[in-house]
Structure 1
Amino acid sequence: MNKYLLLATLIIVLVSKVKAQECYYTSLSKRYAFQVTATRISNADSLRLASTIIVKIIDQTTNQQIQQLCIDAEYLFDDVYSNCEAARSYITGYNAEDDAMDNDYGDVIVADFNFDSREDLAVKYSSGGNGGPQYNYYIHTDQSIFKLDNFLTEQMMYFPTEIDAKRHRLINYVHANALGENMNVYAYNSSKKTWKFVKRRFRRAG
C-alpha cells in the first residue's frame, strides 16, 4: 500500500475515535466565564475511553483568558459533559436548587469552599461508583488564579451536600453499604489555611 494512503487511512481511523464536547458558561460566576471542553479518545486495548477535560477561565470584563486547567480524567459515563445544563453555582444561584441524584451535583460547580468569599471551582474527573462522582477542587487564590486543593481532591473527593459557612465545615454523605451511608465532616482552619477530617458517622437508610 502506498505510504501516503496508509498515513491518510491511519489519520481517518484516529479521528473517528476522537469525540469532543464543549460548553461555555457565563452564568456560574460574577467575574469569570468558563469554556469547558471534554475530549475522549478510544483506547484500542480497552473498552474505556481516555478523557481530557480542559477548562479555560475567561475574564468576563476583558474577555481575556487568564488561566487554563487540563485534567486527565478517569472513567466517565457517556452522558458526562454532554449536557451543558449539568452545572451549578452557589455564587449566582444557577441550578443551585436542583436535585442531586446519586450525589451528582453537575459537571462543573462554582462555590466558596474555603469560606473566604471568593469563587472556587469543582470539576468532575470521575463518574465513580456507588458513592457518586468525584471532583477536582480549585481554590481561588489572592493572585486571582485557581489552584488545585489536594486535600479536598484526594481526601473529600465527593461533593459536599452541606457547605456550613458559619462553622467552616463541608459535609458529604456517601453510600456505605445496603444499610446506609456515611456522613463525613471536614473542617477548615482559616488562620492556618488547613483542612482536617473531623468525623465519620454511619446513618441507616430511611
Structure 2
Amino acid sequence: MEVLIYQIVIVILILAAGAFGKKARNVVTIIICLFTIIEVFTFKLAVLQFITMFIAYFFSIGYEEKKVEVKKEEFNYQVVDKKVKEKIEKNKQKSKSSFSGFSIFFIIIISIFSTIYIFQKKNETNKELLEIKKDTVVYNEGKKLFDPAQDVIANEVPSENNDIGDKIREEDYLSNKNDFIDYYKDVKNGVEYCDHKDLSYEYDYTIFLKKDVNQKIDKIIVQIRNKTTKEILEKDISLIDIDGVSNDYFDSTFTNCNLVRSFITGHNVDKKPYDLDEGDFIVGDFNFDNNEDFAIKIQSGNNSGPLYGFYIKRGNGYELDSFLTNEVRYLPYEVNNISKTIKTNIIIGCCRERESVYKYSSTSKRWVTIMSEDKDMN
C-alpha cells in the first residue's frame, strides 16, 4: 500500500508541475530522480519509480503539446493589432504569475519530500533502537551488578550474622540451581580437565587444571579445538604459571564444570550468579569484532565479585587484553554492540558503588573510559 501511494504522489507531482510549464516539470522530475537514487535502496522499487516517472513525464508532454496546437489554431484566426499587443502584455504578467506559482509549488514539493525523508529517518531510527535493544547483552538481570533483591541475607538474616547468612544463601542457591553435579575429572599426573562443547558453535573448549602437592591450583590451560576439523588452534593458552597464584582462588573455584556461561550460544545465561560470581569461564564477543573471546576467573575477588582475565581472538590465536584485564577487571553487566560500549558496576567499601562505561574504537583498536562515577548505594 505504501509503495502504491508513493507512485500516485509521483504522478500527481509531475502532472501538476507540467501545468506550470516545461521547466517546472523538468525540475520536479530531476528532484524525484535524485530522491529515488539517494533514498530508494531496493532495486525493484527504484525501477518501479522510474517507470512511473517516465509515464507521467511523457503524458505531461503530450498534454502540453495539445495545448500548444490549440493556441496556434487560435492565433491563426486573430488579427495582429492592438489586441495582440495587449495579449502579449497579459501573457508577460501571466508568466510572472506562473513563476510565482511555480515557486510556491516548488516549496510545496520540497516540503513533501522533506516530510517523507523525515518520516523514513524516524522509521530507521526506531529500527535502529530495536537493533540496539536486540544487540545489547545484559549480563545480569537488573541494571546493576549488585542487586539487593537477589541477596537472601538482606531479607532473611540480620547483618551481624554473616556466617549464617552465607550458609543460607549457599543452600538456597544449590537447592534451586542443582549445579554441583559435574565435577572436574581426574586424569594422569594429577591433571584435571573439563570439556565444554556447548559454549560455541565453532569451537570446543577444554580446561585443564594442574594442582600442587597441597591440591591448590598451580596452572590452568585452555585448549580450543575446531568443531568441524577437530584441529587444535595455534597453541594452548597457559593462563596461570606462577607460584602462589592459587592463594587468590577460593577452594570452590574450578570444581564444577557447569559454572560456565556463553553469550554466544546462550548456555547458562539465565542462571542468576551466586554472590556476584558469574562463573569460572565465560565465552562472548568482548571487542565487537564478531569473533569469540573468553573471560576466565583469575582471582576470586572481593565483595564486588571475581576478577577476570579477558582473552581476545587475534588471527588463529588469543591474546590477553591488558585494558579489560587490568582496568575493567570485572565482567561487564552490559555490552552494547551498536555504541561499542560496556558497563560495569562494582561495590566500593560498605555503602558506595561505582558505575563505569568504557568505549572501544574499531579504528584505533583501543579502549577509553568515558564515564566512571561513584555514588551512594540505594
**Alpha-carbon distance in structure 1 between the residues aligned to 2:217 and 2:196:** 24
Q: In the TM superposition, what is the alpha-carbon distance from 1:205 to its structure 2 partner?
A: 2.5
Q: Deviations over 1:45-96 (max 9, x none)?
A: xxx9452111011111111211311112551111111110100000100011
How far 1:30 moved relative to its partner? 1.0
Contact 1:21 1:82 in 2 (8 A): no
Q: Write the letter of the residue equivalent to 1:156.
A: V
Which residue among 199, 209, 212 is the counterpart of 1:41?
A: 212
Matched pairs, number: 184
- The correspondence for 2:290, drawn from 103, 117, 129, is 117
Looking at secondary structure, tell me which structure has more strand per residue: 1
After TM superposition, list the pairs within 5 Å mapping 1:1-206 onto structure 2: 20-42=191-213, 49=216, 51-66=218-233, 67-72=235-240, 73-74=245-246, 75-141=248-314, 143-206=315-378
Q: Which ranges in structure 1 are unaligned for 5 or more consecutive residues? A: 1-17
TM-score, normalized by length of structure 1?
0.82
Give the C-alpha shift of residue 150 in structure 1: 1.0
**Percent identity among equivalent residues?**
32
User: Who wins on radius of gyration, i.e. which is larger?
Assistant: 2
CA distance in 2, matches of 1:128, 1:20: 25
Q: Distance in 2 between matches of 1:86 and 1:50?
A: 17
Task: Determine the C-alpha separation between the residues in 2 that align with 1:94 and 1:186.
Answer: 25
- Rounded Cα–Cα distance in structure 2 between residues aligned with 1:99 and 1:145: 31
Q: Which has the higher helix share?
A: 2
d(CA) in 1 for partners of 2:285, 2:375: 27
Whether the 8 Å contact between 1:164 and 1:170 is mirrored in structure 2 is yes
* Contact 1:35–1:55 (Cα < 8 Å) also in 2: yes
After superposition, the Cα gap between the structure-2 partners of 1:19 and 1:180, relative to the gap in structure 1 and judged at 3 Å, is farther
CA displacement at 1:185 relative to structure 2:
1.3
Report the alpha carbon displacement of residue 202 of structure 1 after superposing the two structures with TM: 2.1
Report the Cα offset of residue 174 of structure 1.
1.0
Distance 2:356 2:259 in 1: 25
Q: Distance in 1 between matches of 2:253 and 2:230?
A: 27
1:173, CA displacement in angstroms?
Answer: 1.0
Asked whether the 8 Å contact 2:209–2:217 carries over to 1, the reply is no
Q: Distance in 2 between matches of 1:20 and 1:97?
A: 31
**Do the aligned partners of 1:176 and 1:182 also contact (CA within 8 Å) in 2?**
yes
Can you give the 5+ residue segments of structure 2 that lack an aligned partner in the other structure?
1-188
Q: What is the one-letter code of the residue matched to 1:24?
A: D
Deviation by residue 1:119-141 (Cα, 9 ceiling, x = unmatched): 11111111112221111111112
Q: TM-score, normalised by structure 2?
A: 0.46
Q: Secondary structure at the match of 2:325?
A: helix
CA RMSD of aligned residues (A): 1.9
Deviations 1:106-157 (A, max 9, x none): 111111111111111111111112221111111112x232111111111111
Structure-2 separation of matches of 1:50 and 1:27: 25
Q: 2-side partners of 1:77 and 1:55: how far apart?
A: 20
Deviation for aligned residue 1:42? 4.3
Structure 1 residue matching 2:347: 3-state secondary structure = strand
Q: Which residue of 1 aligns with 2:128?
A: none
